[in-house]
Chain A
Amino acid sequence: MFKVKIYINLKEGVADPQGATIKHALDSIGYQKIGKVKTGKYLQLELDMHDKNKAREQIEDMCQKILVNPVIENYEYQIEEIK
């Protein structure tokens, strides 16, 4: 059994108005030295599989087919073995 953590981010160059708004808020509250802020999505799911390579294959497939929009988003993921 695996626990999968998927991080989805907007691609470089795709406007991120939420990130810009959060940065603006941080600046105006008085926090110093805030650079670019980017928002993204975090998904966590369990996979009842034993073969890590097969699990990777399935995660890639799920990301490309539905979880991520490849026109505007990038993704990365971590797999942890759980009992």
Chain B
Amino acid sequence: MRFGVIMFPGSNCDYDCWWAIKEVTGEEVDFIWHKEENITGFDCIVLPGGFSYGDYLRTGAIARFSPIMKKVKEFAERGGLVVGICNGFQILLEAGFLPGAMRKNKHLLFICKYIHLRVENPHTAFTNLCKKGQILRIPIAHFEGNYYATPDTLSTLQKKSQIIFRYCNKEGEITDEVNPNGSLDAIAGVCNERGNILGMMPHPERSCESILGSEDGKLIWKSIVTSLKRIKK
């Protein structure tokens, strides 16, 4: 399978994604400069974390107008898999690919630490190797990860099982104390209705090798590969 990792000016998790896909998962991967206007030949597009355009105006607000984003839209409309991690998630929200918006963390701190996530929906292209309720240990690193959606949007997300990950404790319980940033409904990751675009604040690319403290992130990359193989059959 061939992955494409988009590089925006200010992306800084691009090489981590490249490493996780190439060296850990063993799949093909190439970088795509954000001014590129051709993304044919890719099976999955990754919008990595970082500080695209210095987070000026709002996180992701300027990157969404990069020329590549038109192509990503077409790619997603054809059913291609798109993953936005951290700043990548923020860009997908600003671009309207996913519903909702990000606010500053409730305690106004940049939080960089391992947290626990509960898999709410294992029936997606991104989580098919997980079990429902499985607890993953994956780090977060952000200042604006406080997810918000209107009550109507939240209820749609709940009804249509679009909430993929929620923050929890190591037993899998969801409480205010373990919600690191104040996200509505402890949401850490959502997908679109069609199920081919995922946005998540935690960084699976930083947790694929035991030397880094967890290998749980591999489940995401391997789930993607599994579903791509099914699609290609």
Chain A residues near B (Cβ < 8 Å):
10, 14-15, 17-18, 21, 66-67, 69, 71-72
Question: Which residues from A are CB-within-8-Å of B35?
Answer: none
With the chains together, A47 CA to B4 CA distance in Å? 39
Point out the residue from B100, B106, B149 that lies within 8 Å of A17, measured CB to CB: B106
The secondary-structure label for the interface of chain B is loop
Chain B residues, CB < 8 A from A69 = 58, 61, 94, 101
User: Beyond the given A66-B62, A69-B94, A72-B103, could you list 9 further A-B residue pairs with CB under 8 A, ordered by the A residue number?
Assistant: A15-B146, A15-B148, A17-B104, A18-B104, A67-B57, A69-B58, A69-B61, A71-B93, A71-B100
A45 to chain B, nearest CB (A): 13
Q: Give the residues in chain A near B103, CB-CB below 8 Å.
A: 10, 14-15, 17, 72
> Does B182 sit within 8 A of A, measured CB to CB?
yes
| Chain B 101-127 interface 0/1 with A at a Cβ cutoff of 8 Å (1 = within) | 101111110000000000000000000
Q: Is B15 an interface residue (CB 8 A)?
A: no
Do A17 and B57 have beta carbons less than 8 Å apart?
no
Is B156 positioned at the interface, with any CB of A under 8 Å from its CB?
no
